[in-house]
Chain A
């Protein structure tokens, strides 16, 4: 009996302690409203270790806590030095020497130096890659070795020249520098204990509720304007709008085009910028796991059946533009000369009849994505209706995002929908998707050797006329062979209270909030 009382007491203590843990998180917040900036996002971050995540919600926090060797300019994807002060490249484009900023410390006091850079790169070299390091090969795949020259100089040798390399080093995934001491202390995974050099440092993360970060008073650069940032999780899009209009939060991301009027009527400011993304339809080019044979003619005919202009205008109400190419127009390498597949339902009907295509299966995701704000189901249904008009009945399989990605590999389907948000403003970051053998990137496993050769060539060319020409050819092949069918480029939408100044949702899709302030 006595024993059980002790147990009960222990249980009460445990509850009390966990309650106090939550209150310490809240106690970190200042009572002055100007000191706390609340941002509502749709989901919890996957984690806060930049090497182990790839989602926008994680990136939103990461870009405020960590820094990379370079960073993007505010309104485009040109890069400026951040933790690197300067760099030189050897004439053959293979050896990069970075001069690092001096006197920078990680939040745990570990000095930032050449050893730290080498530690971070080595951690993501092929032999050390662990599951979930999905960006390691993109950012560091061409790296042969990293050498420490002196305390603040580091030399990186590449296998082949790579134009995207420096842009990759400004990304919010894989590239940010993590404190080596923190990594060692946390078993090579700082998802729960992020530690970078950025303007904010991590305070607390209540799972499914909020992430709190506070100003890094020892920051090497200009200190952050607002003392605390709170990333609130609010899954329901309409709930976010209500929270914004009530003043419960100061800004929201993931704005549905249908609530724009409601936001404006409440006197809030809509924030929109051209998005570096593309939403597209892919065809299952595998030999098995399909209900019909999707040869080139069928793929083209299916694309011709869709009235892209009408579709995009209706669904996105002007907050997305019809995509003629995979590349958004402002990405270097974009060419207006690519001739897209034209809308031609009569021709489509004729071909599909000839080929005997009467039914097919569509696979799609249910929720909204940054590149498709109405959600995959609505998009699939719109396409289903267009296919119906050319005599093809389509079944639609709808899964939530995580299940959808798994079902792509196991279900039987013919066409599907997905999209891509660019990470670094380089054309290769978009176009290499379809030269991949990985069904995670190249969902339909479309294979075209000519295209692959062009992409391999383009990656080592410097931005300019020659590179644009290569990508123009590649895009033309993609359009002619109907590898995938580009649908739209979505605007990036966010909204904030009228008293919020300098809110920045970058083209790469993340919120840089070190300059944000409230009046």
Chain B
């Protein structure tokens, strides 16, 4: 019995993998994301050890080297304070990725729990939770994030919290609707009859069956979170200077759009490619996990 389950599971994974593998766009997204993650991890750990593997220290200014156009020495050029843009863009990867993942982790965990509770128990509790989610949804998320930041102050940790909190309702809604449909299945009724506790039913029987839509949503959610981080950075609410963050780099370069466009193009490209990669992967995952579009 146990063997057949694992075989089934692995065949499902293989199915999924095959589906993504045959989807060139999703494969590109996956490849790029893996590349980003490796870059971010390598940069992070080498910096912890005090080694700089980037061509230059991303935060070191060199006033006499300000605004050098891209060349062999500085691949992406240098900014107003003579910092190497290539090093800064790479360094910024770890901030954007970690904020994206952490924010999604917050919204995903809280949103799924709230949505499952609402969907499973129904009634007044459900109404209370979901109407509260509606209230949050009714305010544009970036505006809400700005309001959070204004109240809590500037900083990366607060940006994570703000971006995470504002996207809770999306996960809560998806989780709830899935739970409601899964709950109607006979095996849930059977579990209830056998006397399983509600927590056990939710954790053991319901959550495993609603992962696909949530995983898809989370992948797409990372791209939204990366974009929101950049937006907050652009508005001057993100990182503490001098740390490199793509949105912040973009904001400071915008007055040089005509005189030194490279200061703007590369962080902009980094944001675009990262968001694109997560979107492509998310789309691919959705196709892979959606039974209707699954290849036979």
Contact = CB atoms under 8 A, between A and B. Distances in A.
Contacts of A398: 154, 236, 241
Interface string B266-287: 0000000000000000000000
B81 interface: yes
A316 to B, nearest CB: 11
Interface stretch (A213-221, A296-304, A380-388): A380-388
B208 interface: no
A395 interface: yes
A237 interface: yes
Interface residues of B, number: 22
Contacts of B18: none
A238 interface: yes
Interface in A278-322: 307, 310-311, 313-315
A11 B64 CA distance: 62
Interface stretch (A23-31, A257-265, A442-450, A472-480): A257-265
Interface in B231-266: 236, 240-242, 252, 254-260
B61 A366 contact: no
B258 A238 contact: yes
A377 to B, nearest CB: 7
A338 interface: no
Given A261-B259, A378-B81, A384 B241 contact: yes
A382 B252 CA distance: 14
Contacts of A270: none
A381 B259 contact: no
A378 B256 CA distance: 14
B262 to A, nearest CB: 13
Contact of A385 (B81, B258, B259): B81
A237 B241 CA distance: 22
Contacts of B63: 307, 310-311, 313-315, 382
Contact of B258 (A259, A366, A377): A259
A396 B256 contact: no
Contacts of A250: none
Contacts of A396: 240-242
Looking at chain B's contact residues, the main secondary structure is loop
Interface string B51-63: 0000000011101
A256 interface: yes
Q: Interface extent on A, as a size class?
A: 20 to 34
B81 A256 contact: no
Interface in A335-387: 366, 374, 377-378, 380-382, 384-385
B80 interface: yes
B66 interface: yes
A133 to B, nearest CB: 31
B261 to A, nearest CB: 11
A383 B252 CA distance: 17
A209 B254 CA distance: 23
Contacts of A314: 63-64, 66, 81-82
Contacts, number: 59
Interface in B105-162: 154
A237 B82 CA distance: 22
A381 B254 contact: no
Contact of B241 (A261, A310, A315, A377): A377
Interface centre among B81, B236, B255, by most chain A C-beta atoms within 10 angstroms, is B255
Contacts of B241: 377, 380-381, 384, 396, 398
A256 B255 contact: yes
Contacts of A262: 258-259
A398 B235 CA distance: 12
A377 B240 CA distance: 11
Contacts of A313: 63
B246 to A, nearest CB: 17
Contacts of A261: 259
Contact of B61 (A238, A241, A259, A382): A382
Contacts of B240: 395-396
Contacts of B255: 237-238, 256, 258-259
Contacts of A366: 236
Interface centre among B59, B80, B241, by most chain A C-beta atoms within 10 angstroms, is B241
Contacts of A256: 255
Nearest to B66: A314
A385 B258 CA distance: 26
A311 B63 CA distance: 7
A258 B63 CA distance: 15
A395 B240 CA distance: 7
Contact of A259 (B66, B82, B259): B259
A395 B241 CA distance: 8
A31 to B, nearest CB: 33
Given A396-B241, A398-B236, A310 B64 contact: yes
Contacts of A385: 59-61, 81, 242
B250 to A, nearest CB: 13
Contacts of A315: 63, 80
Nearest to B63: A314
A395 B252 CA distance: 18
B242 A374 contact: no
B82 A258 contact: no
A257 to B, nearest CB: 9
Contacts of A238: 254-255, 257-258
Contacts of B82: 314
Interface in B48-85: 59-61, 63-64, 66, 80-82
A439 to B, nearest CB: 22
B81 A382 contact: yes
A381 B242 CA distance: 7
Interface centre among B60, B63, B252, by most chain A C-beta atoms within 10 angstroms, is B63
Contacts of B61: 381-382, 385
Interface in A219-261: 237-238, 241, 256, 258-259, 261
Interface centre among A314, A315, A378, A384, by most chain B C-beta atoms within 10 angstroms, is A314
Nearest to A373: B255
Contacts of A378: 80-81, 252
Closest 10 CB pairs of A and B: A385-B61, A314-B63, A258-B259, A310-B63, A262-B258, A396-B241, A314-B66, A381-B241, A258-B256, A256-B255
30 contacts: A238-B254, A238-B255, A241-B258, A256-B255, A258-B259, A258-B260, A259-B255, A261-B259, A262-B258, A307-B63, A313-B63, A314-B66, A314-B82, A366-B236, A377-B241, A378-B81, A380-B241, A381-B61, A381-B81, A381-B241, A381-B242, A382-B61, A382-B63, A384-B241, A385-B59, A385-B81, A395-B240, A396-B242, A398-B154, A398-B241
Given A314-B81, A384-B242, 19 more contacts: A258-B255, A258-B256, A258-B259, A259-B258, A262-B259, A310-B63, A311-B63, A315-B63, A378-B81, A378-B252, A381-B61, A381-B242, A382-B63, A385-B59, A385-B60, A385-B61, A385-B242, A395-B240, A396-B240
Interface of B: 59-61, 63-64, 66, 80-82, 154, 236, 240-242, 252, 254-260
